[in-house]
């Protein structure tokens, strides 16, 4: 008796071949697909435009300088990072830099990386020997891309991009630092470890 029951049960579990009315038909329910026509809307497009003035959630309350790295009237670059700098922020910039930038610009930002060596067309430059660019310039390069370098706006949020700028500044400072640049209380530690 038990074996007899198992046969129809196995048949049902294997995927019932009969399409019962209103059952198994969920695959064919009406839905809006990207780039498809949709007569429900006046413009007959399934994909909707956000209402005018819509601001993405991560941009709420942020000003133009912060989002673009550029000053308003003349479009010049923002001079300094528009965020309070903390150790955590610089360290988060380091994490992003090591993931997204170090592959090409080197862990020290000096342009020494295997990828850089193999990039025939144009090698990623050292970031520690650049002219005195304002902070907004670095932010803008990450946001818009620069020549052969792609934009990182889809990988790093505006906060993360500014944190990377902070870390690039730290790298620049570290490459040219003298003992006198270090706070007096931290100097003995460095002297003990030995500086190159």
Interface ranges with ligand HEC (CB under 6 A): 100-101, 103-105, 115, 122, 124-125, 127, 130, 138, 141-142, 146-149, 152, 164, 168
Residue nearest to ligand HEC (CB): 147
DSSP string, 133-148: --HHHHHHHHHH-BTT
Q: In terms of CB distance, is 130 or 190 closer to ligand HEC?
A: 130
Give the nearest distance from C-beta 120 to ligand HEC in angstroms.
11
Question: How far apart, in whole angstroms, are the C-alpha atoms of residue 93 and residue 100?
Answer: 10
- 127 vs 170 by CB, closer to ligand HEC: 127
Q: Are 129 and 151 contacting, i.e. CB atoms less than 8 angstroms apart?
A: no
Q: Is 180 helix (H, G, I), strand (E, B) or coil?
A: helix
- Least CB distance from residue 167 to ligand HEC, whole Å? 9
Question: 38 or 144, CB closer to ligand HEC?
Answer: 144
Bridge partners of 149, per DSSP, are 146
Select 55 or 115, whichever has its Cβ closest to ligand HEC: 115
Residues shown for the chain: 196
Q: Which two tokens stand for residue 191?
A: 């002297």
Angle at 167 between CA 165 and CA 171, to 5 degrees: 115
Considering the complex, what minimum distance in angstroms separates the CB of residue 15 from ligand HEC?
Answer: 47
Nearer to ligand HEC, 38 or 172 (CB): 172
Taking the complex as a whole, the smallest distance from the CB of residue 162 to ligand HEC amounts, in Å, to: 11
Least Å from the CB of residue 55 to ligand HEC: 24
Q: Report the C-alpha gap between 79 and 34 in whole angstroms.
A: 41
């Amino acid at each position: 008796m038990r074996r007899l029951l198992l046969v129809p049960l196995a048949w049902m579990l294997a995927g019932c071949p009969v399409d019962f009315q209103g059952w198994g038909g969920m695959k064919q329910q009406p839905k809006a697909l990207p780039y498809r026509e949709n007569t429900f809307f006046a413009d007959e497009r399934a994909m909707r435009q956000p209402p005018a003035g819509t601001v993405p959630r991560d941009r709420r309350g942020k000003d133009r300088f912060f989002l673009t790295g550029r000053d308003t009237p003349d479009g010049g670059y923002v001079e300094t990072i528009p965020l309070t700098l903390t150790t955590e922020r610089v360290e988060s910039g380091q994490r992003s830099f090591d993931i997204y930038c170090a592959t090409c610009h080197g862990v020290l930002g000096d342009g020494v990386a295997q990828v850089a060596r193999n990039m025939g067309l144009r090698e990623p430059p050292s970031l520690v020997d650049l002219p005195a660019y304002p902070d907004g310039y670095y932010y803008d390069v990450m946001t818009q891309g620069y020549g052969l370098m792609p934009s990182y706006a889809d990988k790093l949020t505006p906060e993360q991009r500014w944190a990377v700028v902070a870390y690039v500044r730290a790298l620049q400072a570290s490459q040219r630092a003298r003992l006198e640049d270090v706070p007096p209380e931290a100097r003995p530690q460095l002297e003990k470890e030995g500086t190159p």
